[in-house]
Amino acid sequence: MRRRAYILPMKHAFELTSFRLIGLLPALLAVAACSANPATGKQSFTGFMSPAKELQVGAEEHPKMVKQFGGQFDDQDWPKYVREIGQELASYSEMPELPWTFTVLNDTQVNAFALPGGYVYITRGLLALASDEAEMAGVLSHEIGHVTARHTAQRYSSTMATNLGLQVLGVLSNAAGVPGAENIAAVGANLALKSYSRDQELESDMLGVRYMTRAGYDPDAMASFSRNCGRTNASKV
């Protein structure tokens, strides 16, 4: 059987290099990577942010979040209480092995959010508004859902793909002055705090109800807390 190594003709090799497409190839290949999320069971595109990258982003952003939102609430009991409830809920998720970190922020605004890699935050203002443990568990479960559904990785990856697409168009129309792929990373750097889509919020609610139910809480507490928030005019407590 005849075999022959394929050799790219020199002229073409030069052209490819001159268009700097080679540098973009790993990113282009990543675009094709779609994987099923273990929590939602859906195919989602997270090719630009691996689970390892999520851990790295979370660890890097964590101290900044704590600082930005009033520092950690240094009461003796509340942080421990929230951590224990959070860890239990996370143990019922599809990612129990993540190094989950639950932080109570010393902020009177009613707020909760999550960073990729298992970082969940709840303000003391929210703790004051929650009627009982089940309502607090509902908020934590919803935030755990954002992490397990990998919503930040989805948003980051779709933004990167859009930017990359624009760059490739730039390459095709104008070979000179093409910015390197490393510049794209800066675009996605502040995505962690941008709001989620409505579909992602609904997905987190669905996952939150699942984790609450598994942990033995009444899942209606998630809805009752939302109603409670809607009734309460004061965002500061």
Question: Where along the sequence are the contacts to Zn ion (CB under 5 A)?
Answer: 201, 204
Residues 48 and 104 sit within 8 Å (Cβ to Cβ) = no
Q: Which long-range contacts (CB under 8 A, 24 or more apart) does 198-206 make?
A: 200/146, 200/149, 200/151, 200/154, 203/40, 203/145, 203/149, 203/151, 204/142, 204/143, 204/145, 204/146, 204/149, 204/151, 205/142, 205/145, 206/145
In whole angstroms, the minimum distance from the beta carbon of 201 to Zn ion comes to: 5
Shortest approach of Zn ion to residue 19 CB, angstroms? 42
Pick between residue 47 and residue 119 the one whose CB is nearest to Zn ion: 119
Q: Do 213 and 145 form a contact (C-beta atoms < 8 A)?
A: no
Side-chain-facing half-sphere of 225: CA atoms under 13 Å: 27
Place of tokens 């109570």: 104
For Zn ion, the closer CB: 143 or 164: 143
Closest distance to Zn ion from the beta carbon of 113 (Å): 8
CA 66 to chain centre: 17
CA gap 151, 142 in Å, rounded: 12
Taking the least distance from each CB to Zn ion, the nearer of 152 and 204 is: 204
Of the pair 157, 204, the CB lying nearest Zn ion is at: 204
Residue whose CB is less far from Zn ion, 148 or 204:
204
The minimum distance between CB 146 and Zn ion, in angstroms, equals 6
What's the closest the beta carbon of residue 61 comes to Zn ion, in angstroms? 17
Q: How far is the CB of 207 from Zn ion (least distance, A)?
A: 10
Helix (H, G, I), strand (E, B) or coil at 220: helix
Closest to Zn ion by CB, 103 vs 163, is 103
